[in-house]
Chains A and B, each alone.
Chain A
Amino acid sequence: QKEVEQDPGPLSVPEGAIVSLNCTYSNSAFQYFMWYRQYSRKGPELLMYTYSSGNKEDGRFTAQVDKSSKYISLFIRDSQPSDSATYLCAMSVSPRGGYQKVTFGTGTKLQVIP
């Protein structure tokens, strides 16, 4: 079983829709949860970052973490064609000192249709 599971999609939605992207994980030690966005032919870039459980909002984007269910979500409101990209979840544990291994999901490809 992979440490992080993510539906690869593709997910196609009409412009203006609310999008829900999700990941599940098995390592209960994960404390830091991230969402990266990767446009075609580009490297991933950090979109959202949360620590432990709860919600975090940034404009049209909301990241949600449910540690009891080992489930994280990214919601995109009023989706735009420019949101079309692959979204990767990522997680890490925070050991004292040393390298923090970041475990990435495989990514969900999103297409927002005008």
Chain B
Amino acid sequence: DADVTQTPRNRITKTGKRIMLECSQTKGHDRMYWYRQDPGLGLRLIYYSFDVKDINKGEISDGYSVSRQAQAKFSLSLESAIPNQTALYFCATSEDSGSHQVDNEQFFGPGTRLTVL
């Protein structure tokens, strides 16, 4: 079974709709991340969470919100979807080992392709 799973894998929605993307992990990692990937722009960080009570904005958090329901679950919501939120969304996890060298490896889920019409 995959260590990091995302649901749904594909979603088409309309402008103004509320959308939730879900991420679950079995790696036992404390740190979880949400990225979006756009052609020519690469991966950009939306939100990250160090643990259930620690949630932080990334570089492009406007229009998004998150919820860390448990160590293993991190959800991303688009409160009112707009067409420029059409992108590939990735959840990732990393280990907080206390060693700065290990923290850099992030484990990505398979992605959710979101289209906002």
Q: Which residues of chain A have a CB within 8 Å of any CB of chain B?
A: 4, 6, 8, 32, 34, 41-46, 49, 51, 88, 90, 92, 94, 99-102, 104-107
Q: Which residues of chain B have a CB within 8 Å of any CB of chain A?
A: 4, 39-43, 45, 48, 50, 56, 90, 92, 100-101, 103-111
The answer to whether A41 touches B108, judged by C-beta atoms less than 8 angstroms apart, is no
> How close is A87's CB to chain B, nearest CB, in angstroms?
12
With A106-B40, A106-B41, A106-B42: A43-B108 Cβ-Cβ less than 8 Å: yes
The answer to whether A88 touches B43, judged by C-beta atoms less than 8 angstroms apart, is yes
User: Chain B residue with minimal CB distance to A99?
Assistant: B48
A4 contact set on B, CB distance < 8 A: 42
Partner of A44, one of B43, B45, B103: B43
* A–B complex contacts, Cβ < 8 Å, 18 sampled: A4-B42, A8-B40, A41-B110, A41-B111, A42-B111, A43-B92, A44-B43, A45-B107, A46-B105, A49-B104, A49-B105, A88-B43, A90-B104, A100-B104, A102-B104, A104-B43, A106-B40, A107-B42
The answer to whether A43 touches B111, judged by C-beta atoms less than 8 angstroms apart, is yes
User: Chain B residue with minimal CB distance to A106?
Assistant: B42
Partner of A34, one of B40, B104, B110: B104
With A41-B110, A99-B48: A105-B42 Cβ-Cβ less than 8 Å: yes
A101 contact set on B, CB distance < 8 A: 45
* Complex Cα spacing A44 to B106, Å: 9
> How close is A40's CB to chain B, nearest CB, in angstroms?
11
* Complex Cα spacing A100 to B98, Å: 12
A-B residue pairs, 9 tightest by C-beta:
A43-B108, A106-B42, A104-B43, A104-B42, A94-B100, A46-B105, A44-B108, A32-B104, A43-B109
User: Chain A residue with minimal CB distance to B35?
Assistant: A104
User: Chain B residue with minimal CB distance to A89?
Assistant: B42
Q: Which of B4, B103, B106, B110 has the most CB of A within 10 A?
A: B106
* Complex Cα spacing A45 to B90, Å: 12
